Amino acid sequence: MTLDVCLMSRHFKQMLIYKILTAEQWATLDATGSFAGAPIDLADGYVHTSTAQQLQETADKHFKSVEGLMLVALDGATYGADLVWEPSRGGQDFPHIYARPVLRSELVWVRPMPLVDGRHLLDLT
């Protein structure tokens, strides 16, 4: 495959990033169509999101045993220059959304995150 074809394929492929929301945060987003961020997002000045590979660790670390969570998938390409990849845990680059809220119309999908034996089940299909 030539480089041009590779670049074209990457350009058209959706790059999903994920945001875990509490039931209250989801209710706000669903009702108002907009979500400015969780308290940590507002304090840090950006909306924290995760890749598929980072998601379980994020759920385990920040949402352990929290019931009623919702997982929203976002297309990272939607955010353009407002999506910044920055190092965080263990030097991994995490996607952060700056300077704008997450809009209901931008969601690719939303799913509940069932809690089984104290751990959240993730369905990314």
Q: In the chain, where are the structural domains located?
A: 14-113
Residue 25 Cα to chain centre, angstroms: 13
Whole-prediction pTM value?
Answer: 0.86
**If one looks up domain 14-113 in CATH, what number appears?**
3.20.170.20
Helix (H, G, I), strand (E, B) or coil at 18: strand
Are 83 and 48 in contact, with CB atoms under 8 Å apart? no
Residue 5 has pLDDT above 90, yes or no: no
pLDDT digits (tens, 9 = 90+) for 20-35: 999 999 999 999 999 9
Q: 68: closest CA among 105, 23, 102?
A: 23
pLDDT digits (tens, 9 = 90+) for 46-88: 999 999 999 999 999 999 999 999 999 999 999 999 999 999 8
DSSP letter at 64?
T
Q: How confident is the model at residue 4, as a pLDDT?
A: 39
Q: What are the start-end ranges of the H helices in 1-125?
A: 3-12, 23-32, 39-44, 52-62
